[in-house]
Amino acid sequence: MRVSAEISYPWRVRRLDRGWSALIDSTGNETRVRNIGAEVAVGDYVTVDTEIARVEQVGPRTSALVRRASFEGARAVPHVVAANLDVVFLLHAAPSGVNPRRLERELVLAFDSGAQPVVLLTKSDAVDDTQIDRAISVVTSVAPDVAVHAVSARNRASLGVLSQYLTGTIALLGASGVGKSTLVNALVGSDVQRTGEVREGDQRGRHTTVAAELVALPSGGWLIDTPGLRAVTLWTSGHGIERAFSDIFALSENCRFRDCKHEEEPDCAVRAAIESGGLSPVRLRAMERLVAEEAAVEDEQRERERTEDRRGFRRRRPETDRN
């Protein structure tokens, strides 16, 4: 799949800057072209019209990490963070602990992308084993079937476990300051990405990385470093919520009514699980909030398509070069 993409679309988008794409090919050649009229995202495979230095065609995406970005008031616009990924590393700094609600959102985004999510607890050198164990148990309570690894960019041996992923394309996602760029540098083996100190008091980062960037790995794979997201906002989803909350969906198979809302209905298996302590009511509420959030985006999209059709407008192109 990837091999054929490289033959017919020899260039890959490395970085976007205001209407320009920095491109790289599989042998490491780089060029810069305009992407007028082409919707491109970092990680896209493209062809180039060399005479006018423009992106000509964008290859079909095998996967894409898409979040909601809002511009121009409340209008919802999709933002393609990265395209053609095999794996999404979800980074959480072990010293700050894992926020389960944030991880749930990241998992929905990652599952929706079509790539495989893997959770990384970073900065393991800065905590003791009990803190790691506590963080891992938070991760497994939210993502029972997702692989989780504790790593430290300051301890090469701890990175060995990641080599199994390093042949494909991997996007790194996480809050500012969790160590995405530091990990990219450690895996590449040189300081290709700028990093920044976290704030003394609350360990938050300073948004050092401002644009997604594709970096080649010595192993032949690719990493996509991304800017730390303040808020993980969802775009309309495929099956991301079902996969991120597969435990709740499995339970609801046993509700008496197919359309059970898990409120007042008799023989509700989800409420029974909450009562017996098998399911956290906070997790159910978190899922319901995400379902509502996605439904609101879908409604807004449908409404806009209707009004634009009525006015005879062409549908707007999604904006892809912001974060």
Residues lying near Mg ion in the complex (CB under 5 A) are found at 180-181, 208-209
CA distance 272 to 4: 51
Asked if residues 220 and 174 have their Cβ atoms less than 8 Å apart, the reply is: no
> Among 47, 67, 72, which Cα is nearest to 57's?
47
Choose from ligand GTP, Zn ion, Mg ion, none: what does 270 bind? Cβ within 5-8 Å by kind: Zn ion
Options 35-43, 152-160, 174-182, 264-272: segment touching Zn ion (CB under 5 A)? 264-272
Mask of contacts with ligand GTP, 53-92, x by CB under 6 A? Answer: ----------------------------------------
Choose from Mg ion, Zn ion, ligand GTP, none: what does 260 bind? Cβ within 5-8 Å by kind: Zn ion
Shortest distance in whole angstroms from residue 292 CB to Zn ion: 17
Mask of contacts with ligand GTP, 108-137, x by CB under 6 A? Answer: --------------xx-xx-----------
State which residue, 61 or 123, has the beta carbon closest to Mg ion.
Answer: 123
> Among 26, 76, 56, 145, which Cα is nearest to 293's?
76
Choose from Zn ion, Mg ion, ligand GTP, none: what does 255 bind? Cβ within 5-8 Å by kind: Zn ion
Q: Is 198 in the site for ligand GTP (CB under 6 A)?
A: yes
> Among 293, 296, 303, which Cα is nearest to 108's?
293
Question: Quick one: CA dihedral 246, 251, 256, 259, positive or negative?
Answer: negative
State which residue, 107 or 270, has the beta carbon closest to Zn ion.
Answer: 270
Determine the Cα angle at 282 with ends 277 and 288, to 5°: 120
> Interaction with Zn ion in 218-257: which residues (CB under 5 A)?
255
Rama region for 49: left / alpha / beta (φ>0; ψ in -120 to 50; rest): beta
- Please report which helix (H) or strand (E) contains residue 296, including its range: helix 281-311
Q: One-letter amino acid identity for 193?
A: Q
State which residue, 62 or 181, has the beta carbon closest to ligand GTP.
Answer: 181
Mask of contacts with ligand GTP, 161-180, x by CB under 6 A? Answer: -------------x-xxxxx
Q: How many residues bind ligand GTP (CB under 6 A)?
A: 26
141, 195, 280, 323: residue in contact with ligand GTP (rule CB under 6 A): 195
Residue 30, CA distances (Å) to 24, 182, 209, 267, 320 in order = 4, 23, 21, 62, 21
Within 8 A by CB and 6+ apart from 69, the residues are 77, 78, 79, 233, 319, 322, 323
23, 82, 186, 270: residue in contact with Zn ion (rule CB under 5 A): 270
- Judged by DSSP in three states, 135 sits in helix
CA distance 123 to 195: 14
State which residue, 155 or 254, has the beta carbon closest to Zn ion.
Answer: 254
Shortest distance in whole angstroms from residue 55 CB to ligand GTP: 26
Shortest distance in whole angstroms from residue 156 CB to ligand GTP: 11
State which residue, 35 or 182, has the beta carbon closest to ligand GTP.
Answer: 182
For residue 136, the tally of other CB atoms under 10 A from its CB is 17
Q: Is 149 in the site for ligand GTP (CB under 6 A)?
A: no
Q: One-letter amino acid identity for 245?
A: F
Interaction site with ligand GTP (CB under 6 A): 122-123, 125-126, 152-154, 174, 176-182, 195-198, 205-209, 227-228
